[in-house]
Structure 1
Amino acid sequence: MTTDATPELLSPAGNWDCARAAVAAGADAIYFGLPAFNARLRADNFTAEDLPELMQFLHRHGVKGFVAMNTLVFTGELEAAAEQLRLIASAGVDALIIQDLGLAKMARELAPEVELHASTQMTITSPEGLRFVESLFPLDRAVLARELSIREIERFPQSDTTPLEVFVHGALCVAYSGQCLTSESLGQRSANRGECAQACRMPYELVVDGETTEMGEVRYLLSPQDLAAVDVIPDLVRAGVKSYKIEGRLKSPEYVAAVTRVYRKALDAAIDQTESAVTDADRYALEMTFSRGLTSGWLAGTDHPYLTHGRFGKKRGPLLGTVTEAQNGWIRLDVPPDEQSPPLKAGDGVVFDAGENRDLEQGASIWKIENDRIIFHRTYSGINFDRIRPGVTLYKTSDPALESEIRKFWKNAKLTPKKTALHLTVEGSPGSPLTLSSSFEVERSTFDVRCSSETPLQPAANRPLATETLIAQLGRLGDTDYELASLDNRLQGDCHLPLSELNRLRRQLVAALQSDGARTSVRPGTPAATTHHHLLPPSTSHSSPATPAEPALSVLCRTLPQVEAALEAGVQIIYCDFEDPRRYKDAVALKSGSDAGLHLATPRILKPGETGYLKLIERAAPDGLLLRNLAGLEYYKDRSEFVKTADFSLNVANPITARVLMESAGLDRLTVSYDLNISQVLDLLRGAPADWFELTLHQHMPLFHMEHCVFCTFMSEGTTYKDCGRPCEKHVVHLRDRVGQLHRLQADVGCRNTLFNGRAQTGARFLPALLDTGLSRFRIELLDEDRDAASRTIGAYQALIRGERDPADLLEEVTALEKLGVTEGTLR
């Protein structure tokens, strides 16, 4: 575990230029990806060949390098992932940022000398969730979910626990990281695999009780403004946060340089407990380099409209004013009476916000400014001035002069290599050589250097070697990579040695330091094991059992009438996932006289102080639990009286992750990750015992699971659940996407919203192949079906798994039942 408590500024780097910009601007560390297993596959990323040179460059300048391997790893990729871990370890990388629990286990085995950081993709939202991960393997850092407030962060223990990292600037995902299935469900581009399609930045219509709500220019209902926590850095330092992370591996080196140097100022001032040196010009630079509007995100607490205004999803920049007059080629602005209005000059880029389709909005560079008229070139600007009318707002989108200044800053910066501190020991006595020695660590490698004078020490007649003389001569290290930090003078008696010999010793010491022979121990703890195979389940050759278990169907219900339909159909395992867990006791009461098992689902997210929901579930006396988060695993891991199933949100995508969870959380079964297609599902089932798993055969895929409440933001005048009037309890709400598809929106007990795919997903066609692996547990999940529709859907799938119905016939019936259609979705 990391012990250095000094706060660290962590900057993104998608390429070499961004790495140099981050170093020039004062980053303590950078994080970057390789071509595989990172959540920003669209970034340039570094290659395996780049790694040694990159790490040498970083370490020479006192900067650490972290590799992001923050995606899920599929069964067929374990060998490639193991090879990448070995490569990373050999290149001297300082830390790994990892999402997949199985990959993290591999990293501790194959690269124990590299720090292990739990990615925000692990969805660590509470101290209990962090404790569970800490119980699996030693952890050097945890990157917390971006939805936590400072008060919630303060509830994480600050001693005897893992150091914490928090995002402080950049784009915000509307969904909890690691819990977004939108890109996967709608386009087979998984966000958990680095292929986010940014569906949250698209326009949506709000449909309430079947009627489309007229909302004018408010169409970007799921697009948060960007995070800028520069003003709360002192609060985060007081909360004990170790690392301050800037988002932006897809951004330019100018963005990296500008943002890093502003946060360098803010963090240094917070560490020194002095007034922040961040200026209005710095804030302007933050807004100009990239922003969709800047907020402090969730750090200051819940204020839903503050985070997501819904008017645009693209880069904006600062507001310049409102158009008061527009002629062919020029405009006048009504500028707000604010001394901090952004500067405006010829060459700056602007965009006109007329509340129209953002794909059609107009923008151009300013040609010149005359008095109060802003003039555009009539030919080359491309602006249709017939569309520019008074009342249109104008935003500044680019500042070439600022960009040029930032570019010159990072390109021309003289990067001074960080010198290694030498702690020297001087020993000897008259008649013996003078001996210099230094033992220290560089990049987790131990160096032990020792050299002796060629001539022995002589008794000093009148001017013995004093400590001051030794420091003066041995400290003359000039342009070398070293500087004298301390000198321990252990000379015995009054000794003399010519200064020329001291100078020769100094040069000999430097030469020895720079030689490979100085290294006496390379990375203690490097394991003898060179494979990950011992981490796999005991047997990985799982053929179909001689007597396969009878296929069984479980049903997840979201209403009491659905529970009644499942009981009436004789379903043996019924999962309940209610918005209000206080109604769970009513569901358990319904099974009176039935031998069905009632299993209750935990919320997807538990934040600090929310374990009371788990106690409420426990008091309902269920037969089993559907565990959906790390905190739930920790809370119930020693409770054997419940049948425990880990849900899809735990992201089980390979046999090592499956084994880690089964053994560490005391689980009875696992739900197969929704990120897997059918071939990857089959690989998983062949790589671990099939009787560990349950597969969801029918469902409305949960697209976004988010702290952002659409109900509160766009259907009330409130800011939190305290004053929103609870429209979620009074209305049926859908969001209509750009292609006309309706998606159901629901809130949970914590006011978190889930947007469900309007089209149901079925894996009926793949049932024979799944049965061949020995898999016998299948689930269907109901959404908003009434009792009759629920009964028909349950009956159709019961007949399918009994072999009484052909998948094609089932598809026709289920399609008729599902008003918005059916797809094979992620399994395809």
Structure 2
Amino acid sequence: MITELLSPAGSYESFEAAIGAGADAVYVGGPAFGARAYAQNFTQEELITAIETAHIHNRKLYLTVNTLLKNRELDDQLFEYLLPYYEAGLDAVIVQDLGVFSFIRRSFPDLDIHASTQMTVTGPEGMRFLEGKGATRVVPARELSLEEISAMHKASPLEIETFIHGALCYSYSGQCLMSSIFGGRSGNRGRCAQPCRLPYSVTMDHRKYKGDKDFCALSLKDICTLDILPDILEAGVMSLKIEGRMKQPAYTAGVTAVYRKYLDMYLSGKEYHVLEEDRKYLLELFSRGGSCKGYYDMYRGPEMMAFANEKKSGNIQPEIRKIKEKIHGNLILSPESPVILEITCKGQTVTAMGGEVQFAKNQPMEEQRIRQQMEKLGNTDFQWEDLNIEINGRIFVPVKVLNEVRRDALSQLREALIG
């Protein structure tokens, strides 16, 4: 079974941070129909670029379409909304609404559908039901134990994805109506106001709770599963999901890097051991009264509760790096012939030709000057591992020609890798 580390991205910068930190896949929201309406989210152009970039690096990208849609949205908007992403090669959609599920199954039969945790699938029967409907993956309710998840895995071949880090819902995920009742902002429309994080006056047997006036009786700690990661995988989970599309790119990079380290440790067969410094690092990235293991061990008690809405983060700044694919090049420069640049990456080879190499009347162009120009890859997805430059005689090439051939070759390579 292939194991996947799945990271959140509320912006294109977070997407790059997730990929650079080692995520196998990233889930994002587009301009509409996502359950994080207040995240920065992606424009159509950014989303298509992200799909292409993910595929260049052999990663996957999933789009959240996980709100409840109105009939007019389903009839008039959803197809046109999804079509450009489908054509760009979107890997899957994450869906809550069964009407949306059926619509996508009919309209885009080749597109994988992941059943959102907001479907509240809690047992084998739900797994088998969605298997029959054509789902490829289920994200069960976050309130299940490892034993319950294992039973679901044994009952159906569908992939299972569960949350391993980040915020928890006080209610069954997606089933809370408090935000709608208190403020007219529905969590099922992506606009939860998080009333569970607010302070409340608490009484028991008509006796008022005596303590901190800002007692947040419904606020849970965030989940952290570093210590039980092997148990989660052995229960049948194949996709390990980090919560946090509302978080900053540095948070995404830091959390992803830590879980990448421990997932690789487990997959390598080495003795699994969590360092205390890594637990501390995650708490310094973000803490809401500490952390807990969620419901995986079936423990439900005060240790899961933050009882405050104090969000704390340290001064650490995780490295955010842009991942680059290594390329091999061969540049041929012969007088009265076009500039020829051949680039190879991941078994794909492209050739670009352009301009004309001239005889040098006076000072021939030195290899160092040519190499300096060709190595300017800028903000592309590539970096040179080696570049052979073959110069036949005393030559001169306009810098503009070198730039055009380089850009043409990289554009061809990008298209070839996207497939």
- Name the TM tier (shorter chain): 0.7 to 0.9
Q: 1:252 deviation in Å?
A: 0.6
Tell me what 2:232 maps to: 236
Q: 1:194 deviation in Å?
A: 0.5
Tell me, in whole angstroms, the C-alpha distance in 1 between the residues paired with 2:416 and 2:225.
45
Q: How does 1:62-211 map to 2 (within 5 A)?
A: 62-78=58-74, 79-135=76-132, 137-158=133-154, 160-211=156-207
Tell me what 2:390 maps to: none
**Counterpart amino acid of residue 24 in structure 1:** G
Tell me, in whole angstroms, the C-alpha distance in 1 between the residues paired with 2:64 and 2:196.
23
Tell me, in whole angstroms, the C-alpha distance in 2 between the residues paired with 1:275 and 1:517.
42
User: Pick from 2, 14, 25: which aligns with 1:6?
Assistant: 2
Tell me, in whole angstroms, the C-alpha distance in 1 between the residues paired with 2:235 and 2:155.
12
Tell me, in whole angstroms, the C-alpha distance in 2 between the residues paired with 1:273 and 1:145.
30
Tell me, in whole angstroms, the C-alpha distance in 1 between the residues paired with 2:276 and 2:347.
38
Contact 1:85/1:111 (<8 A) preserved: no
User: Pick from 286, 296, 299: which aligns with 2:296?
Assistant: 299
**Counterpart amino acid of residue 224 in structure 2:** A
Q: 1:159 deviation in Å?
A: 6.7
Tell me, in whole angstroms, the C-alpha distance in 2 between the residues paired with 1:237 and 1:515.
36
Tell me what 2:324 maps to: 416
What does the per-residue CA deviation read over 1:442-490, in whole Å, with 9 as the maximum and x for residues that have no partner? Answer: xxxxxxxxxxxxxxxxxxxxxxxxxxxxxxxxxxxx9522239xxxxxx
Q: How does 1:307-318 map to 2 (within 5 A)?
A: 307-310=304-307, 312-316=308-312
Tell me, in whole angstroms, the C-alpha distance in 1 between the residues paired with 2:326 and 2:219.
42
State percent identity of aligned pairs: 42
Tell me what 2:30 maps to: 34
Contact 1:115/1:140 (<8 A) preserved: yes
Q: Where does the alignment leave 5 or more consecutive residues of structure 1 unmatched?
A: 317-396, 420-477, 485-510, 523-828
**Counterpart amino acid of residue 301 in structure 1:** M
Partner of 1:214, secondary structure, is coil
Q: 1:86 deviation in Å?
A: 1.6
Give the TM-score normalised by structure 1.
Answer: 0.39
Tell me, in whole angstroms, the C-alpha distance in 2 between the residues paired with 1:238 and 1:114.
28
User: Pick from 482, 489, 498: which aligns with 2:346?
Assistant: 482
Tell me, in whole angstroms, the C-alpha distance in 1 between the residues paired with 2:326 and 2:134.
30
Q: 1:158 deviation in Å?
A: 3.6
Contact 1:154/1:239 (<8 A) preserved: yes
Contact 2:153/2:160 (<8 A) preserved: no
Q: 1:179 deviation in Å?
A: 0.8
Change in CA separation of 1:33 and 1:301 when aligned onto 2, cut-off 3 Å:
same
2:314 equivalent to 1:398: yes
Change in CA separation of 1:182 and 1:73 when aligned onto 2, cut-off 3 Å:
same
**Counterpart amino acid of residue 11 in structure 1:** S
**Counterpart amino acid of residue 172 in structure 1:** L
Q: 1:213 deviation in Å?
A: 3.0
Contact 1:62/1:417 (<8 A) preserved: no
Tell me, in whole angstroms, the C-alpha distance in 2 between the residues paired with 1:479 and 1:268.
31
Q: 1:185 deviation in Å?
A: 1.1
Tell me what 2:279 maps to: 283
Partner of 1:270, secondary structure, is helix
Q: 1:306 deviation in Å?
A: 1.3
Contact 1:13/1:31 (<8 A) preserved: yes
**Counterpart amino acid of residue 53 in structure 1:** T
Partner of 1:86, secondary structure, is helix
Q: How does 1:502-581 map to 2 (within 5 A)?
A: none
Tell me what 2:13 maps to: 17
The number of residue pairs the alignment matches comes to 342
Partner of 1:177, secondary structure, is coil
Contact 2:170/2:219 (<8 A) preserved: yes
Contact 1:237/1:270 (<8 A) preserved: no
Q: Where does the alignment leave 5 or more consecutive residues of structure 2 unmatched?
A: 328-341, 349-408
Contact 2:220/2:306 (<8 A) preserved: yes
**Counterpart amino acid of residue 295 in structure 2:** W
**Counterpart amino acid of residue 12 in structure 2:** W
Structure with the greater alpha carbon radius of gyration: 1
Partner of 2:161, secondary structure, is strand
Change in CA separation of 1:418 and 1:248 when aligned onto 2, cut-off 3 Å:
farther
Partner of 1:139, secondary structure, is coil
Contact 1:86/1:110 (<8 A) preserved: no
Tell me, in whole angstroms, the C-alpha distance in 2 between the residues paired with 1:121 and 1:247.
14
Change in CA separation of 1:160 and 1:213 when aligned onto 2, cut-off 3 Å:
closer
Q: How does 1:204-219 map to 2 (within 5 A)?
A: 204-216=200-212, 219=215
Contact 1:61/1:418 (<8 A) preserved: no
Q: 1:114 deviation in Å?
A: 1.9
Partner of 2:347, secondary structure, is strand
Tell me, in whole angstroms, the C-alpha distance in 2 between the residues paired with 1:102 and 1:202.
33
Tell me what 2:393 maps to: none
Partner of 1:283, secondary structure, is helix
Q: 1:210 deviation in Å?
A: 3.4
Q: How does 1:412-811 map to 2 (within 5 A)?
A: 413=321, 415-417=323-325, 480-483=344-347
What is the Cα-based RMSD across aligned positions, in Å? 2.5
Change in CA separation of 1:207 and 1:418 when aligned onto 2, cut-off 3 Å:
farther
Which protein is richer in helix relative to its size?
2
Tell me, in whole angstroms, the C-alpha distance in 1 between the residues paired with 2:115 and 2:248.
26
Tell me what 2:331 maps to: none
Contact 1:37/1:73 (<8 A) preserved: yes
Tell me, in whole angstroms, the C-alpha distance in 2 between the residues paired with 1:418 and 1:185.
54
What does the per-residue CA deviation read over 1:555-613, in whole Å, with 9 as the maximum and x for residues that have no partner? Answer: xxxxxxxxxxxxxxxxxxxxxxxxxxxxxxxxxxxxxxxxxxxxxxxxxxxxxxxxxxx
Q: 1:220 deviation in Å?
A: 1.1
Contact 1:218/1:309 (<8 A) preserved: no
Q: 1:214 deviation in Å?
A: 2.2
Structure number with higher relative contact order (C-alpha < 8 Å, ≥ 6 residues apart): 2
Tell me, in whole angstroms, the C-alpha distance in 1 between the residues paired with 2:199 and 2:101.
37
Change in CA separation of 1:179 and 1:89 when aligned onto 2, cut-off 3 Å:
same
Tell me what 1:60 maps to: 56
Partner of 2:153, secondary structure, is coil
What does the per-residue CA deviation read over 1:629-686, in whole Å, with 9 as the maximum and x for residues that have no partner? Answer: xxxxxxxxxxxxxxxxxxxxxxxxxxxxxxxxxxxxxxxxxxxxxxxxxxxxxxxxxx
Partner of 1:146, secondary structure, is coil
What does the per-residue CA deviation read over 1:116-170, in whole Å, with 9 as the maximum and x for residues that have no partner? Answer: 10000101111112222223x2111000111111122111134752110000000
Tell me what 1:44 maps to: 40
User: Pick from 265, 269, 282: which aligns with 1:269?
Assistant: 265
Tell me, in whole angstroms, the C-alpha distance in 2 between the residues paired with 1:161 and 1:111.
22
Give the TM-score normalised by structure 2.
Answer: 0.76
Q: 1:272 deviation in Å?
A: 2.3
Q: 1:302 deviation in Å?
A: 1.9
Q: How does 1:377-392 map to 2 (within 5 A)?
A: none
Structure 1: which 4+ aligned runs deviate by more than 6 Å? 515-519
Tell me, in whole angstroms, the C-alpha distance in 2 between the residues paired with 1:51 and 1:206.
45
Tell me what 1:716 maps to: none
Tell me what 2:377 maps to: none
Contact 1:32/1:68 (<8 A) preserved: yes
